[in-house]
Amino acid sequence: MSFSNILGQDKTVKRLRALIESRRIPPAMIFHGAPGTGKFLAAAEFAKALNCSHTEHREKPAAPPPPSDDDLFAAAAPAPAAARELPPAKVHTDLSDSCGSCLSCLQAASGAHPDIRIVDTAFQAALLDEAESANLKIDTMRELTRWAQQKPMLSDWKVFIVRDAEALMPAAQNALLKTLEEPPPGTVVILTVSRKTSLLSTILSRCCLVEFGLLPRAAAKTLLEAQGTGPDDAGALAALGGGSLEKSAEAGSFLKRVSALRPGDPARVFKFSSGLPRDSHKAREEVKTLLDLLLAKTRDRWSSAAGPAKARFTTLLRRTLDLRRMADRNVSYMLLLETALLESEKAGIKLEDLIRTD
């Protein structure tokens, strides 16, 4: 991977590359934009490019084994040819991107770079030796602050990527504030976040904001194909995702669940909703996506309808909008979904229609 593999974010990538090349790196940055638009990948590429040594990495040839007693009178072994004849290391000349072949790049790509830390809820669970929680805690941010005080081990820069920073509790954000205000030299903290409003204004005002827009459909399709989705499904899922690969993945899971249902089954809506993820945050997000798909489909039908059908779709549109607003509140998302799907089926929009792109 290098910046060239991040598709659909040309303007943003250009800005990041210019920063790397200038070496004037803001110590605190927020990469914000809809889920599944490449924020985390770009942060990882940024960290890799920043720490790249731009010179090809070579394993040093192994030293010859020490002579044993039996070899004392044997002719001295010649030095290994590799040690004498190693061609000069290649130098990567594009200073705005990583080379992909130096020791730093190899370690960054394998997730083992000692100066690049990804801080997320899975990392926190290992750090605090506890079950994974939905929130990033104050103790984790204190640990980050402690690491930030230490010197880098391999490279010039220490980079901390706080992934999905909406998980930061306000107290944890406050614990991070001091590092953002007075960063130790050579430290960069990148927060990736879908909704920047989930961060305190004190955090926002100290960070350089980098926006990630929705992906163009062609870029989303190419990325889905690269992940192994067939070309036809990739086209449909790119359209349904509306520029977010995360929404495309959700639509892919709807597609599978709907195709497993029997067409005339009276309990199909309930069977479909019972397939929501167990994780309540993910399930609520899926319900919102389904309600958005239902709204889009209802608007389509409403705009081409006339007479009594128009009135029917107007009622459904209003009702679905109400349910969509309720999805952001503390209401049973399962009940919301079942109500919305039953009412839309009654108005003539079937479950299958929601994931049809024609």
Quote the CA–CA distance of 263 and 267 in Å, as a whole number: 10
Provide CB contacts within 8 A for 63, sequence distance 6+: none
Min CB(259)–Zn ion separation in Å: 45
CB 159 within 8 A of CB 47: yes
Residues 48, 109: contact at Cβ < 8 Å? yes
Region of 101-109, 114-122, 171-179, 196-204 interacting with Zn ion (CB under 5 A) = 101-109
Tell me the window of 75-83, 93-101, 232-240, 293-301 that interacts with Zn ion (CB under 5 A).
93-101
14 vs 90 by CB, closer to Zn ion: 90
Query: Least separation, in Å, of the C-beta of 58 and Zn ion?
Result: 13
Residue 235, φ and ψ in degrees, nearest 5: -65, -45
What's the closest the beta carbon of residue 57 comes to Zn ion, in angstroms? 8
Report the residue number, 115 or 250, with the smaller CB distance to Zn ion: 115
Least gap, CB of 102 to Zn ion (angstroms): 3
188/287 with CB nearer Zn ion: 188
Residue 19 in contact with Zn ion, rule: CB under 5 A: no
Please name which of 89, 19, 99, 83 lies closest in space to residue 58, comparing C-alpha atoms. Answer: 89
The span of 105-113, 133-141, 203-211, 310-318 binding Zn ion (CB under 5 A) equals 105-113
Query: Which residue has 């990538």 as its token pair?
Result: 13
Cβ closest to Zn ion, residue 4 vs residue 357: 4
Q: Which is nearer to Zn ion, 44 or 341 (CB)?
A: 44
49 lies in the site for Zn ion, by CB under 5 A: no
90: Cβ–Cβ under 8 A, 6 or more apart, which residues? 55, 56, 101
CA-based end-to-end distance of the chain: 35
**Contact residues for 178 (Cβ-Cβ < 8 A; gap 6+):** 145
Q: Is 102 in the site for Zn ion (CB under 5 A)?
A: yes
Give the one residue of 16, 44, 105, 161 binding Zn ion; rule: CB under 5 A: 105
Give the three-class secondary structure for 346: helix
Dihedral sign for Cα atoms in the order 317, 319, 321, 323? negative
How long is the chain? 358
Query: Which member of 16, 20, 99, 341 binds Zn ion (CB under 5 A)?
Result: 99
In the complex, least distance from residue 52 CB atom to Zn ion, rounded to whole angstroms: 3
Sheet bearing 28-33, strands edge to edge: 116-119, 158-162, 187-193, 28-33, 208-212
Q: Binding segment for Zn ion among 91-99, 281-289, 315-323, 347-355 (CB under 5 A)? A: 91-99
At a CB cut-off of 8 Å and minimum separation 6, what does 165 contact? Answer: 30, 136, 191, 192, 193, 198, 199
Q: In sequence order, what are the beta bridge partners of 212?
A: 33
Which is closer to Zn ion, CB of 52 or CB of 293?
52
Q: Among 28, 52, 215, 220, which residue sits at the site for Zn ion (rule: CB under 5 A)?
A: 52
Q: Return the range that interacts with Zn ion (CB under 5 A); candidates 11-19, 90-98, 121-129, 146-154.
A: 90-98
C-beta closer to Zn ion: residue 91 or 331? 91
Please, which residue, 91 or 267, has the CB nearer to Zn ion? 91
Q: Which stretch binds Zn ion (CB under 5 A): 65-73, 75-83, 98-106, 206-214?
A: 98-106
Within its chain, how far is the Cα of 199 from the centroid?
A: 18
Q: Which is nearer to Zn ion, 152 or 184 (CB)?
A: 152
Min dist CB 4 to Zn ion, Å, is 14
> Is the Cβ–Cβ distance between 338 and 268 less than 8 Å?
no
* Of residues 312-341, those binding Zn ion (CB under 5 A): none
Give the footprint of Zn ion on this chain (CB under 5 A). 52, 98-99, 102, 105
